[in-house]
Amino acid sequence: MCQITEDACREAEIYSDAGVDGLIIENMHDIPYTFSVGPEVCACMTAVCSAVRHQCPSLPLGVQILSSANHQALAVALASGLDFIRAEGFVFSHVADEGLVNACAGDLLRYRKQIGAERVCIFTDIKKKHSSHALTSDVSIEETARAAEFFLSDGLIITGSATGVQTDPLQLKAVSKAVKIPVLIGSGVTYENVADYMEANALIIGSHFKTEGHWANAVDPERVKSFMKKVTALRQ
């Protein structure tokens, strides 16, 4: 745990120094993912999240706990002083790598109120990556977006088919037009294509910031700096 916490804080410092707008802490290396997320995972994630919060006291921070451990993520965020979570399976069902994921919005928002975590935003994946959506093939992404908005999502995340796979820019336009809440891009943004996504409210970037653009590698400070330099220019 000491090594994991040190690595997380070192990466957070790299990102913060490069000028990123916020960070998400995620147990991405906890493979294979399971729906049976035990108390030891929550304890470890709380320790890491608290350390990163201490490292970055004013930066917006969030957490995602795989797989689909949305209630646990809310508890960790509240205990660690984080600002948001990334939630899977908010509305409609889908089949993920780990199995069937069912909608959780009703229980999740009631739980958020129950533990006094209303200040923690819930950003929700729709038609998410690494999943089959045959169950809802007759429901468009725009309809899914409107359903999530109706069920009080704080923001929507759209992705490509897998980690590092580019999100369809046309889906960004369609979903942004369909709802009034924030729309975030959740995969596939790179230095080369970032201009296609500047209309989004936020960009979640993992793979591109790693050495050789592979999610499992270490963070490459130069890739982060060059990306943020380009984003700064595009914002002007």
Tokens 């929700």 -> residue:
124
Of 39-48, 100-109, 110-119, 156-165, least confident by mean pLDDT is 156-165
What mean pLDDT is predicted for residues 62-80?
A: 98
AA identity, residue 72: Q
DSSP state of 102: -
Phi, psi of 196 (to 5 degrees): -75, -10
Phi, psi of 143 (to 5 degrees): -65, -40
Q: Could you tell me what percent of the chain has a pLDDT over 90?
A: 96
Find the helix packing angle between 2-18 and 39-55, rounded to 10°: 40
Residue 129 reports pLDDT greater than 90: no
DSSP state of 31: P
Confidence class for position 9, pLDDT limits 50, 70, 90: very high
Q: Quick one: pLDDT at residue 216?
A: 95
Distance CA 49, CA 61 (A): 9
Q: Quick one: pLDDT at residue 162?
A: 87
Q: What is the mean pLDDT of the chain?
A: 97
Confidence class for position 39, pLDDT limits 50, 70, 90: very high
The token pair that represents 46 in the structure block: 């709380």
Helix (H) or strand (E) holding 77: helix 70-80
The token pair that represents 91 in the structure block: 């509305």
Q: From the CB of residue 99, how many other CB atoms can be counted at a distance below 10 Å?
A: 11
Q: Quick one: pLDDT at residue 113?
A: 98
| pTM recorded for the entire structure | 0.96
Name the residue among 68, 3, 76, 13 with its Cα closest to residue 219. Answer: 13
**Can you give the C-alpha Rg of the chain in angstroms?**
17
What mean pLDDT is predicted for residues 63-79?
A: 98
Q: Quick one: pLDDT at residue 109?
A: 98
What mean pLDDT is predicted for residues 22-41?
A: 96
Confidence class for position 164, pLDDT limits 50, 70, 90: confident
The token pair that represents 142 in the structure block: 């725009």
What mean pLDDT is predicted for residues 187-194?
A: 97
Give 148-183 as a 3 state SS string. HHHCCCCEEEECCCCCCCCCCHHHHHHHHHHCCCCE
Q: Quick one: pLDDT at residue 196?
A: 97
Q: Quick one: pLDDT at residue 5?
A: 97
Tokens 């129950």 -> residue:
114
Helix (H) or strand (E) holding 212: none
Distance CA 78, CA 68 (A): 17
Q: For 203-222, what is each residue's pLDDT tens digit?
A: 999 999 999 999 999 999 99
> Coil, helix or strand for 90?
coil
Cβ(68)–Cβ(105) below 8 Å: no
Q: Quick one: pLDDT at residue 48?
A: 98
> Coil, helix or strand for 41?
helix
What mean pLDDT is predicted for residues 25-47?
A: 96
Q: Quick one: pLDDT at residue 143?
A: 98
